Every structure is written in C-alpha cells, then in structure tokens.
C-alpha cells in the first residue's frame, strides 16, 4: 500500500487527539508541525513529510520569500494546491 502525500482526516485526529479544526490547529502549533487551512471548509492540510520531520525533531529549512502572517512557510505553494 502506498502512502498519500497528505495526512488523512483520521490520521490528523489520531495525531492531535481532537476533532475540531481549531483545536487541531492549536495541537499542531504546539507540536511545531507545519500546516495550512482549507478556505472552503476550514479543515487542515498536513504533509506527511512535515509531520514526520517535526516528530523526529528535524528542523525544516525554507528558502524564499517570507510567508504571510497566517500562512505556513513550508516551501509549498498552497495557493495552487
């Protein structure tokens, strides 16, 4: 079985221990896991690699322009996702 690029909603619930999107966001912030919020429904997008790297304690190095205050800076162009 191949893994998807993003964590599923169930995996995100298991990782954070909560169901509500705002509570998940707070949990991800505490864990220092980069994420983005879908504008259409408020759900969160978390790359599997970002979750792995954060949980292993590996710093994420990002180059380029600084992100907006409310957007994650993980090197991905979330506007095209």
Does the reported pTM lie above 0.85? no
pLDDT value of position 4 = 92
Pick the closest to residue 46 from 11, 19, 18 (CA basis).
Answer: 11
User: pLDDT tens digits, residue range 4-59?
Assistant: 999 999 999 999 999 999 999 999 999 999 999 999 999 999 999 999 999 898 87
pLDDT value of position 58 = 80
Measure the CA–CA gap between 80 and 22, rounded to whole angstroms.
Answer: 23
Pick the closest to residue 31 from 68, 1, 57, 67 (CA basis).
Answer: 57
Q: Are 25 and 16 in contact (CB under 8 A)?
A: no
């Amino acid at each position: 079985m191949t893994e998807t690029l993003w964590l599923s909603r169930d995996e995100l619930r298991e990782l954070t221990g909560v169901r509500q999107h705002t509570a998940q966001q707070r949990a991800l912030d505490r864990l220092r896991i980069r994420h983005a919020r879908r504008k259409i429904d408020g759900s969160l997008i978390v790359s599997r690699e970002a979750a792995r790297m954060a949980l292993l304690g590996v710093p994420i190095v990002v180059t380029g322009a600084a992100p907006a205050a409310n957007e994650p800076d993980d090197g991905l162009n979330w506007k095209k996702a």
